[in-house]
Amino acid sequence: MRDPYLYPDVDVLINKKDIKDSEALNKLEEDVVPLRMIRLRKEGLNIKSVFDIQKIHSFLFSSIFDWAGEFRKITMYKKEPILNGCSVDYTPFDYIEKETNNLENKFKGIVWQSLSNKEKINNVCSIVQELWQIHCFREGNTRSVALFLYFLLKTIGVHINIEFLGKNAKYFRNALVLASLYSASKPEYLFGIIADCTTIKNLSTNRYETINGYHVDKYSYQNHTAEKIKTIKDIKE
The verdict on residue 11 lying in a domain is yes
Give residue 62's pLDDT: 98
The dihedral over CA atoms of 51, 123, 91, 167, expressed in degrees to the nearest 10, equals 90
pLDDT of residue 235: 58
β partners of residue 87: 231
Within-domain flag for 1 = no
Q: Mean pLDDT across the stretch 153-171?
A: 93
Domain count, the chain: 1
Identity of residue 15: N
Q: How far is CA 218 from CA 51, 54, 210, 213, in A?
A: 33, 31, 10, 12
Mutual angle of helices 141-155 and 169-178, in 10-degree steps: 90
Mean pLDDT of 165-175: 94
pLDDT, mean of residues 208-230: 92
Give me the pLDDT at residue 199, please.
84
Q: Report, as an integer, the average pLDDT of 205-234.
A: 89
- Give the domain range for residue 144: 6-236
170 — pLDDT class (breaks 50, 70, 90):
very high
Q: What's the pTM value of the predicted model, to 2 decimals?
A: 0.95
Q: Which helix (H) or strand (E) holds 220?
A: none
In a domain, 183, yes or no: yes
Mean pLDDT across 7-35:
97
- Residues of the chain with pLDDT > 70, as a percent, come to 96
**What pLDDT, on the 0 to 100 scale, is given for residue 206?**
82
Query: How far apart, in whole angstroms, are the C-alpha atoms of residue 60 and residue 68?
Result: 8
- Note the pLDDT tens digit of each residue in 29-60: 999 999 999 999 999 999 999 999 999 999 99
Mean pLDDT of the chain: 94
**Which residues in 136-231 belong to E strands, given as ranges?**
210-211, 214-215
Do residues 134 and 103 touch, judged by C-beta distance below 8 A? yes
Determine the length of the chain.
237
Q: How many CA atoms lie within 13 A of 212 on its CB side?
A: 19
For residues 6 and 68, give the distance between their C-alpha atoms in angstroms, rounded to a whole number: 15
The reported pLDDT for the residue numbered 237 is 46
Please give the C-alpha separations between residue 14 and each of 21, 25, 65, 116, 204, in angstroms, as whole numbers.
11, 10, 7, 45, 40
pLDDT of res. 234: 72
Residue 176 lies in a domain: yes
Residue 205 pLDDT exceeds 80:
no
pLDDT of residue 232: 79
CATH number at 141 reads: 1.10.3290.10
pLDDT at 151 over 50: yes
